Amino acid sequence: MTDLRIALYQPDIPGNTGTILRMGACLGLAIDVIEPAGFDMSSRALRRAGMDYTEQASLTRHRSWQHFLIWVEEQNRRLILATTKAQQSYRQFDFLPDDILLFGRESAGVPDDVHAAADHCLLIPMAEVTRSLNLAISTALIAGEAIRQSELPAPAQ
């Protein structure tokens, strides 16, 4: 079983956050939102994208990056940042069942201090002529691989 979490750093688009909340509810993944968000977290757009699943989602709101970082350290978990600035592909990374997968703002990613705090930085390899994927799709790709790995039997010693 996995205790994987998805963290969204100051998300900008309520539809993406709603979709990620829905995915989290369906897959049993907790979602952390690091505020301030670029929208009212109780907005209709958020509820519309998440449908009735937003009520079932395990959502924790953190009032700032610093508060979130303190919480991560208290939990003794790895923070895995998805970023276009990384060198390592998420497909070649060994996830742990209690990792926190961190995703940046749709408009700007994350600042340098967030990069520096991450235990590992991963990218999604893409065609050279493209810039980035939608946040909800990126989250689903990386979370799917982390879930797949957590369900594999432990290697023989």
Residue 157 forms part of a structural domain: no
Residue 28 forms part of a structural domain: yes
- 3-state secondary structure string across 53-91: HHHCCCEEEECCHHHHHHHHHHHCCCEEEECCCCCEEHH
pLDDT given at position 40 = 82
Per-block average pLDDT, block size 10, for the chain (157 residues)? 89 91 92 92 66 77 96 96 95 96 94 97 93 92 95 62
Residue 155 forms part of a structural domain: no
CA distances from residue 85 to 13, 104, 127 in whole angstroms, order as listed: 22, 12, 15
State which residues form the domain around 17: 5-150
Residue 101 forms part of a structural domain: yes
Distance CA 24, CA 129 (A): 31
pLDDT given at position 55 = 73
Distance CA 107, CA 20 (A): 17
Provide the whole-model pTM: 0.91
Q: The domain that contains 58 carries what CATH number?
A: 3.40.1280.10
Q: Copy the structure tokens of residue 83.
A: 């970023």
Q: Count of domains in the chain?
A: 1
Residue 140 forms part of a structural domain: yes
Residue 127 forms part of a structural domain: yes
